[in-house]
Amino acid sequence: MGQPNDAEFQKRVLRACLGLLEAESGPVLEDYLEDIPAGSAEYDFTGMSCPIDLHPVPSNDSELTNSLVQEIGQIAPWYELAVDQRKRTTVGISELDILDAARFLIDFIEDPSSPSPRPEMDVGPMLKHTCEDLKAFYSEAMSAQPGMSSSLAVENWLWNETVLGKVLWNFREEHVDDPDAYIGYLARRGLIPDRQIQSKGAPVF
């Protein structure tokens, strides 16, 4: 229902909810796509009420790759809560367990000749599916946090405060000019949102 005393937003939510009664059959499950408006000075919900206590992002690649699985373990309870609340998830396109997905990404970063964990799928598409699953896992976990009321707040957290974010930034930097056309395009255009790239002053290809 949004922020206290925000009657206009609350009316829009209620109208959307009541509109579901017009469905010809049920059950009906729909997302409400409008983010909660920013709070007023009287009700400041900036930040997280129950922040995930992540370890500082390591400063070198060796520590970075060894920390990713541990970070996933820290946010896994929030992901499970999000799935329990919504009764669905967008994680699963890679058909890998999330820890196996993380290990495959790490293996590729450390050794680009690493094979795909699914023999029927080339490394490039496998990397794309793996990265999408990891991003979805993190985003869904953080969306269950009190105070994380906007998709931009979740996005900023993922790309600027997590080990996964640093791993994917490094992936982009290392593979922008990859000789494999699929992997090169993934690094340039299919991995990180343009606004995150622009915020760091990096080139948008």
Q: What is the pTM of this model?
A: 0.69
Q: Residue 3: its pLDDT value, please? A: 67
Quote the crossing angle between the two packed helices 123-143 and 181-189, to the nearest 10°. Answer: 20
Residues ≥6 apart with Cβ < 8 Å to 149: 35, 36, 45
Do 33 and 128 meet the contact criterion of CB atoms below 8 Å apart?
no
The predicted pLDDT at position 146 comes to 75
* Each residue's pLDDT expressed in tens, for the chain with a length of 205 residues: 776 677 888 889 899 889 889 888 877 777 777 777 665 444 444 444 455 556 565 555 457 667 898 899 999 999 999 999 889 999 999 999 999 999 899 999 889 999 999 999 999 999 999 999 999 999 999 888 877 767 888 898 999 999 999 999 999 999 999 999 999 999 998 999 988 988 877 666 6
The pLDDT, as a whole number, for residue 204 is 65
Alpha-carbon span 171 to 165, nearest angstrom:
10
